[in-house]
Amino acid sequence: MGGREVLGGAPTTNTTPQVLCRRAIGHLPLLLAGAALLAAAPRLSAALPAPANRLVANGLLRELAAMGVSAPAVAVACWAAAVAAWAYAVSRPRPVYLVDLSGYVAGEAHEASRAKTIAHFGRCGRFSDESMAFQKRMLERSGLGERTHFPASLISVPVDMCLRTAREESHAVIFGVVEDVLRRAAVAAADVGVLIFNSSLLSTTPSFTSLIANRYGMRDDVVSHNLSGMGCSAGIIAIDLAKRLLQVHPDTYALVVSTENITLNAYMGNNRPMLVTNTLFRVGGAAILLSNRAADRSRAKYQLIHTVRTHRGAHDQSFGCVTQEEDDAGCVGVSLSKELMLVAGEALRTNITTLGPLVLPMSEQLRFLATVVLNRVFRANVRAYLPDFKLAFDHFCIHAGGRGVLDELERSLKLSAWHMEPSRMTLCRFGNTSSSSLWYELAYSEAKGRIRKGDRVWQIAFGSGFKCNSAVWKALRTVDGGEEGNPWTPELDVLPIHVPKVSPVDETTYTFPDGATYKVSVAG
């Protein structure tokens, strides 16, 4: 009998901590139940008279002893339960909430009809007749409307492209959206613990994050990151980075500012692959305020559910399809290759292959898996099944990079005109505003009263490198349409509008202040 152990019985010769731990683990379910009863005993005793208190306590102890549970074993079980609960709590990711967002709208002085755009490009005197004719044709097929915005530097005579005017453009956008989002969210700049800024083509010294911190008096320990060279998908990259930082910095806000600068990046040469950007990119920007504070859940608009990033930079074709470079005359611009749509399609397929299992219903996952097995195992040469993402998402925000991109994704994802409306209206009203376009699209859905509690939103962005990034949001409340500060509120009554595939530019509709006019002289 010397080696026998009876838990809770007569004293044994082996009562080391190791033995007690083994006993506790072996009886863990029983001990946890006992611990729960002991924890509840004070509340029970408070509701009972004194004699009943003693009966409850004595009865509980007798029952535990009869079950073979000793006091040290109960203590170990309580300690183990506390450690397990703590480990579970700290290992869970912190929820990330989108409190509010703001989109920049330039003043009327910056509005540029398509005729005004052509006239100013023509009068600057840096383009050949063939280049002007090409830009006009591209503009007619671009999907852009008559009220997009240019910086003053590009619609002045002559153009004024320099670092000073580039900073003026960026400062107007940044200060406009930051002040608006902080005001609408009623959050002080000093309460922001994480600050992320992205602008692909302009990086100044001091950085734009330093500019924001200086302007608004942010605290000394603010965690700041200034992203550049990441292309139009940098907005989702910034959101993903903010999400990761909010996992390690508790009880704080993250401010994300996304924009692009076109003052120094309008192309003034005659290389066709580099002229396309002139017809697409316009002034814009957005600020997004995120939080990991539990108290903000009740007022936040969305919760971030997933971010999925795809980077195909290891493939030469993907790496070289969007590049900033000099032409033979030394003019700097961004060149778009003819393989851009092919590269974007491959990146999208890779991205949704990762995202699909996270969001799609099981029936769609099984259909996709079946085609993979048939092709790879049985060599059946069956066309890959494209899941129906409309079963997973209620709203789609697809980067308004150009009409061709939107047409291709509408076809590939089998989306309706209603699903594509936010992206097409953003392209028409604001043009390609790079990384901020997704937020104009989400704001459009809000303004139209489409966002209902529980809805899921899929944001898809493409960028140089080549990258395809996704973010999935869940609406925490119904968002009222036409709220103050929404960039779409002033024109809700006239939207959506029909945008034809080809819309001729009537150059006679614009005259310079001095009475001069401009007309493209070469067709073709």
pLDDT in tens, 306-355: 999 999 999 999 999 999 999 999 999 999 999 999 999 999 999 998 99
Catalytic, out of 27, 110, 232, 292:
232
Confidence (pLDDT) at 27: 52
pLDDT tens per residue, range 66-102: 666 666 666 676 677 777 766 655 667 899 999 999 9
pLDDT tens per residue, range 203-243: 999 999 999 999 999 999 999 999 999 999 999 999 999 99
Percent of the chain predicted with pLDDT > 70 = 83
Confidence (pLDDT) at 82: 75
Beta strands in 47-151 (DSSP E): 97-103, 111-112, 148-149
Residues 451-470 have a mean pLDDT of 96
Q: Which of 57-61, 378-382, 440-444, 469-473 has the lowest mean pLDDT?
A: 57-61
- CA distances to 35, 41, 48, 507 from 44, rounded to whole Å, are 14, 5, 7, 85
- At residue 130 the predicted structure's pLDDT band, cuts being 50, 70 and 90, is very high
- Residue in the structure block whose two tokens are 């290389």: 271
- At residue 59 the predicted structure's pLDDT band, cuts being 50, 70 and 90, is low
CA distance 510 to 120: 10
Confidence (pLDDT) at 250: 96
Confidence (pLDDT) at 3: 45
Confidence (pLDDT) at 8: 39
Catalytic, out of 225, 249, 306, 311:
311
Is-contact 288 181, C-beta < 8 A? yes
Catalytic, out of 265, 432, 469, 486:
432
Q: What is the chain's mean pLDDT, rounded?
A: 87
**Model's pTM, two decimal places?**
0.84
Is 232 a known active-site residue?
A: yes
Q: Please, which contacts does 322-329 make with residues 24 or more away whose CB atoms are closer than 8 Å?
A: 322/231, 322/463, 322/464, 322/465, 322/466, 323/464, 324/201, 324/265, 325/274, 327/269, 327/270, 327/271, 327/274, 328/271, 329/269, 329/270
Confidence (pLDDT) at 64: 57
Query: Taking 60 as the threshold, does the pLDDT of residue 38 lie above it?
Result: no
Residues 6+ apart with CB under 8 A from 400: 406, 423, 424, 426, 427, 430, 431, 432, 433, 437, 440, 441
List 432's β-bridge partners, or say none: 281
Helix, strand and coil percent figures for the chain, each rounded to 5? 45, 15, 40
* Rama region for 279: left / alpha / beta (φ>0; ψ in -120 to 50; rest): alpha
Catalytic, out of 27, 110, 120, 399:
399
How many CB atoms sit inside 10 A of residue 391's CB?
A: 11
Torsion angle defined by CA atoms of residues 374, 377, 381 and 383, in that order, rounded to the nearest 10 degrees: 40
Q: Which of 99-108, 110-119, 328-337, 372-381 has the lowest mean pLDDT?
A: 372-381
> Tokens in use for 196?
């992320």
Q: Which of 155-164, 358-367, 368-377, 515-524 has the lowest mean pLDDT?
A: 515-524
Is 395 a known active-site residue?
A: yes
Query: Taking 70 as the threshold, does the pLDDT of residue 4 lie above it?
Result: no
| Residue, of 196 and 523, whose pLDDT is higher | 196
Query: Taking 70 as the threshold, does the pLDDT of residue 5 lie above it?
Result: no
Query: Taking 80 as the threshold, does the pLDDT of residue 523 lie above it?
Result: no
Residues 393-411 have a mean pLDDT of 95
| Residue, of 28 and 182, whose pLDDT is higher | 182
Domain ranges of the chain: 23-91, 97-494
Buried/exposed 72-103: b ≥16 CB within 10 Å, e otherwise: bbbebbbebbeeeeeeeeeeeebbbbbbbbbb
pLDDT tens per residue, range 244-261: 999 999 999 999 999 999
Helix axes 340-359, 403-412, angle to 10 degrees: 40
CA distance 77 to 24: 6
Beta strands in 260-407 (DSSP E): 285-291, 302-311, 322-326, 332-336, 395-398
Query: Taking 60 as the threshold, does the pLDDT of residue 32 lie above it?
Result: no
| Residue, of 30 and 67, whose pLDDT is higher | 67
- 97-494: CATH homologous superfamily? Thiolase/Chalcone synthase (3.40.47.10)
Residues 353-378 have a mean pLDDT of 89
Percent of the chain predicted with pLDDT > 90 = 73
Our CA angle for 115, 334, 353, nearest 5°, is 110
